[in-house]
Amino acid sequence: MAGLAGIVYRKKKRMHWAKESDEIFKRQVEKMLQKISYRGNRNKEIFSINNSGFGAIIGFISNYKISSTKDHHTKKTSNKTAPTVKVDGKIYNTDRLYKKYISCTAANKNENEKLGELLTGFNDTILKKLNGQFAMVFKDESENIYIIRDFLGRKPLYYAYNNDTNLLFFASEIKALSRYKLKIFELPPGHYIKNMGKPVLFRNLDSKKYGEEVLQSELPDIKNENIMINRINDLLIRSIDKRIPKDRPNIKIGAWLSGGLDSSIIAALLKQRNVDIHTFAVGFENSRDLEAARIVSKHLGTIHKEYILDEDILFSLVPKTIYTLESFDAPLVRSTLGNIIASKMSSGADIVFSGEGGDEIFAGYNYFLNFNSKKQIQNGLLKAIKSLHNTALQRVDRSSNFNGVNIKLPMLDEKLIDYVLHIPPRFKLNYTMKLTKYILRKLAEKYLPDCIVWRPKDKFWEGSGIYDSLKNKIDCIISDNEFENGRILPDGFKLRNKEEFYYYQIFRIHYPEVDYNNFLSFTENFN
């Protein structure tokens, strides 16, 4: 859990940036960090960077111990200083890459120092090989500043240019930038910005690599269902293991449990480690999700905690949820309400696992059953995964950070994604049974009762009962006439129902002058 904010400025010819200017920028960065203080309220660091053409004030907050800052003030040798890197997130293969490219020994070097050495002589090669979720700031030996985001966008990063004053602002969340009244952009996944340049692509989910060709050249083990099931099982276990710190054997491990397939199988695999697992469920009494979560918990023997929703309390959380989420997309707001409650429940755990991403890589949404060719299905999967960064991943990031939860997403591990995207669609969709995620269900048979394994897909806001509660409330507040007269926004965007109309009004209270078109996406397949 961490947050980034900063200002990069261009040095004009014959213009000297006075110390007073640096102090002004530092105060501005301080205010930006205050807006996102819940992302890392235990440690804070603000430092300056200067080179011949650019300068920067960088702010970093974290819930972890911050490494020594001596490198920020290192005496220059040949006009160069030691590299500096600050990461929101976690990179899992730093040690392996360091041994391969730098040295087999790394005595007295922490992860950030090794990562800084790997990125020295900055190019795309190492960036493409980084395995993990991250948004980071990197200063190279020549004091160039890079802001970088991982290729799935599992960690957020936004920026805004002020061309009149030669400034670039960036931050982990929109609320840290909204006061500047500039056009805010999302840094696209798999991109970086150097100094004040434009975003540069370094890695993406390659449509050529996972397109139609991969489906026509099936490997032998991709034709055998049992081999594939065992391989998925192995990859999921490895994904979970790498997300549990090896140097902290007695940590409290939690899992958000909706009773759906993805969260249930993650909880089941966690229990295979023979440790106590704490599960957390949210829903209205007698809702489908709550009942299913109880069944899973009892079957696995987890330490289970649930929150029974109250309609009035739930509705009172809407304004805070929209401010935290930074969106008025109705399905996203619904799900975030439940996630924020779940994150608060689970905040006492050291790490918490979520099944997010399973629907996107295993074809879990019911609309996949409407596709009639493997090419169409594969393109739908790629589109779903590429849309995660500012829909579901935005929801998980904001709701977990708001309550200081260290969230883990094993379904979105690179190696698992790569393997599953090579599996032919016929193993993911069973048209006869009208079921999605078929091969994952076959794996789940090893660990879960049939009523969970073969449970039809429910969106969280459906299974928990949240949607019906919100709809009933908002239908009483927004009249038909008010909705019809105000649903088309000044920019031409058409709000889709009364619920979204209501959320938009609250969004504008919190973000009155923000142009959302440059960073907001909206959930397709609305109902």
- Res 72: pLDDT: 42
Domains of the chain, CATH where assigned: 2-201 (3.60.20.10), 212-473 (3.40.50.620)
- Res 77: pLDDT: 42
Query: Quick one: residue 466, left, alpha or beta (phi over 0 = left, psi -120 to 50 = alpha)?
Result: alpha
State the pTM of this model: 0.93
Other C-beta atoms lying within 10 Å of the C-beta of residue 20: 8
**Alpha helices (runs of H) in 46-194, residue ranges in sequence order:** 94-101, 111-119, 124-129
HEC profile for 132-160?
A: EEEEEEEECCCCCEEEEECCCCCCCCEEE
- Res 464: pLDDT: 67
| Separation CA 79–CA 191 (nearest Å) | 28
> H/E element holding 353?
strand 351-353
**Cα atoms in the Cβ-side hemisphere of radius 13 Å centred on 251:** 16
- Res 217: pLDDT: 56
Q: The dihedral of CA 109, 110, 115, 120: what is its sign?
A: negative
Contact 171, 5 (CB under 8 A): yes
Order across the sheet with 167-171: list the strands: 43-50, 54-62, 2-10, 167-171, 158-162, 185-186
Structural tokens at position 193: 């910005």
Contact 462, 470 (CB under 8 A): no
- Res 165: pLDDT: 87
Tell me, what amino acid is at 271?
K
Q: Which residues pair with 50 in a beta bridge?
A: 55
Say if residue 108 is exposed, middle or buried (CB neighbours under 10 Å; 0-12, 13-18, 19+).
exposed
| Separation CA 31–CA 17 (nearest Å) | 21
Q: For the chain, 527 residues long, give each residue's pLDDT as a single digit of tens.
A: 899 999 999 886 434 545 557 889 999 999 999 999 999 978 999 999 888 788 899 999 998 754 444 444 434 444 567 789 999 999 999 999 999 998 877 667 888 899 999 998 888 889 999 999 999 999 998 889 999 999 999 999 999 999 888 999 999 999 999 999 999 999 999 999 999 999 999 999 877 778 766 665 555 566 689 999 999 999 999 999 999 998 888 899 999 999 999 999 999 999 998 789 999 999 999 888 999 999 999 999 999 999 999 999 999 999 999 999 999 999 999 999 999 999 999 999 999 999 999 999 999 999 999 998 888 999 999 999 999 999 999 999 999 999 999 999 999 999 999 999 999 888 999 999 999 999 999 999 999 999 999 998 766 556 667 888 898 899 999 999 999 999 999 999 999 999 999 999 999 999 999 999 999 988 875 44
Q: Is 298 helix (H, G, I), strand (E, B) or coil?
A: helix
| Separation CA 40–CA 36 (nearest Å) | 8
Task: Report DSSP state, residue 512.
Answer: T
- Res 344: pLDDT: 96
Contact 142, 51 (CB under 8 A): yes
Tell me, what amino acid is at 442?
K
Q: The dihedral of CA 179, 183, 189, 192: what is its sign?
A: negative
Contact 498, 485 (CB under 8 A): no
Q: For residue 141, give the nearest of 69, 78, 230 by alpha carbon.
A: 78
| Separation CA 483–CA 235 (nearest Å) | 48
